[in-house]
Amino acid sequence: MTGFAVRPDGPARPTVRSSGSLLVDNIGELLTNAPGAEGDPLGLRRDAALLIEDGEVAWVGPARDAPPADRRIDAGGAAVLPGFVDSHAHLVFAGDRAAEFAARMAGEPYTGGGIRTTVGATRAASDGELRATVARLRGEAMRQGTTTIEIKSGYGLTVADEARSLRIAAEFTDDTTFLGAHVVPPEYADRPDDYVGMVCGPMLAAAAPYARWIDVFCERGAFDVDHARAILACGQAVGLGVRVHANQLGPGPGVRLGVELGAASVDHCTHLSDADVDALAATRVDCMCAEGGHTATVATLLPGAEFSTRSPYPDARRLLDAGVTVALATDCNPGSSYTSSMPFCIALAVREMRMTPAEAVWAATAGGAAALRRTDVGRLARGARADLIILDAPSHLHLAYRPGVPLIRQVLHNGVPQCPQ
């Protein structure tokens, strides 16, 4: 069945949903992220089955109680989990920066300045070239289990190039983010105030019809806190949700700015003060739901960036112990984290960031959904979108235990099995 997902202020994007009913049974370990028992945020069930109707989860229960269905997938005792939600990716760009990576590995530091290299290549690319790159990376991510992805602009940095970046991104996802304030482009190097005025004025006006979110790179060398606050406030005024690139390269005010503005997520969080952690923890919203609440502002950690820039990893344990909701995402971009692999990020988070495998898998699914303020993805319960992964493994533990191994056997998106691309 083909329908159209129409956003009130954006273009129509075709979606494909399953027709008839489809039963996935003989599931050895099912992660629902719909917790029941105390201390089990993954809502883990054994010997389970899951029924899909009209692209949604219609029923979850013991395999022995499975209802009849038009079609069946035998999971063969494998683990099944929600599709990954990658809440931070920069897929609209041209060129690559492999030489810059090699130079870093030979000892040069990462400063963020290479973003301008990609800006030049992106401006020179045709719409078709940019679209082909997004399609290639979206397919690559899907094959690795990512069923929901956020895509940012930020390599155009002119009114026309930011608008077309978002227009192309909107062909692939509902979660598009306007990042005109990625860096100050070279032609505005001596007059950053003028650039901020342009971002808040004509660029935002051209970008907003294609964007759900607004984001700023709030960092020394990019945008200071006053510029960042002004830009995010302009975005909020036209109805965009707030996200912030914050505290990646050093300590700074970005995280607290995000909290002040009610951001859905502050991303990177590599260099945090106690005040930053306290501010995030204070956004906690307690509820009577099984999860027991979450923080309204999620800390999204992007270990691919620390890997690729050989930098210290963020301390996920400190955030989790303070009660902060944590998401994991790839930060997929050609400069500082050219990976689309959520399993790779899970493995890094467990090995390098003191997360348990259960915490990391939760952060890559339900955590990402929280960072995008979505309740239809990141979990497998009645009414959720039928986005799921069948692993080539008996347990989610294998995602970190067997790093670098292609463990994604099958991906269902809106209940539709995805063909290898």
Footprint on this chain of Zn ion (rule: CB under 5 A): 331
Residue 306 or 331 having the CB closest to Zn ion: 331
**Which of these, 304, 322, 321, lies nearest to 313 by C-alpha position?**
304
DSSP H or E stretch at residue 178: strand 176-181
Helical segments of 144-272, H only: 159-169, 192-198, 204-207, 225-237, 254-260
| R_g of the chain computed on alpha carbons | 21
Residue 29 or 331 having the CB closest to Zn ion: 331
**Which of these, 311, 309, 302, lies nearest to 97 by C-alpha position?**
309
Residue 62 or 250 having the CB closest to Zn ion: 250
Residue 100 or 331 having the CB closest to Zn ion: 331
Smallest separation (angstroms) from Zn ion to the CB of 332: 9
Smallest separation (angstroms) from Zn ion to the CB of 32: 30
Residue 179 or 366 having the CB closest to Zn ion: 179
**Which of these, 242, 244, 225, 224, lies nearest to 233 by C-alpha position?**
242
C-beta atoms surrounding 112 within 10 Å: 19
Smallest separation (angstroms) from Zn ion to the CB of 340: 13
Smallest separation (angstroms) from Zn ion to the CB of 123: 19
Smallest separation (angstroms) from Zn ion to the CB of 107: 24
Smallest separation (angstroms) from Zn ion to the CB of 268: 7
Residue 175 or 331 having the CB closest to Zn ion: 331
Smallest separation (angstroms) from Zn ion to the CB of 391: 28
Collect all residues with Cβ–Cβ distance below 8 Å to 418 and sequence separation of at least 6: 142, 143, 410, 411, 412
Residue 164 or 268 having the CB closest to Zn ion: 268
Side-chain half-sphere CA neighbours of 370 within 13 A: 25
Are residues 231 and 224 in contact, defined by beta-carbon separation less than 8 angstroms?
no
β-strand pairing of 388-391 with 79-82: antiparallel
Smallest separation (angstroms) from Zn ion to the CB of 202: 24
Residue 342 or 408 having the CB closest to Zn ion: 342
CA distance 32 to 291: 12
Residue 25 or 331 having the CB closest to Zn ion: 331
CA dist list (Å): 339 to 2, 4, 54, 68, 239: 31, 30, 32, 40, 31
Query: How far from chain centre, in Å, is Cα 310?
Result: 22
Smallest separation (angstroms) from Zn ion to the CB of 305: 7
**Per this entry, what is the length of the chain?**
421
Provide DSSP, 355-401.
--HHHHHHIIIIIHHHHTT-SSSS--STTSB--EEEESSSSTTHHHH
Provide DSSP, 325-358.
-EEE---BBTTTB----HHHHHHHHHHHS---HH
Cα distance from N-terminal residue to C-terminal residue, the chain: 21
Residue 337 or 410 having the CB closest to Zn ion: 337
**Residue whose structure tokens are 């995402």:** 329
Closest residue to Zn ion, based on beta-carbon distance: 331
Smallest separation (angstroms) from Zn ion to the CB of 336: 8
Smallest separation (angstroms) from Zn ion to the CB of 297: 17
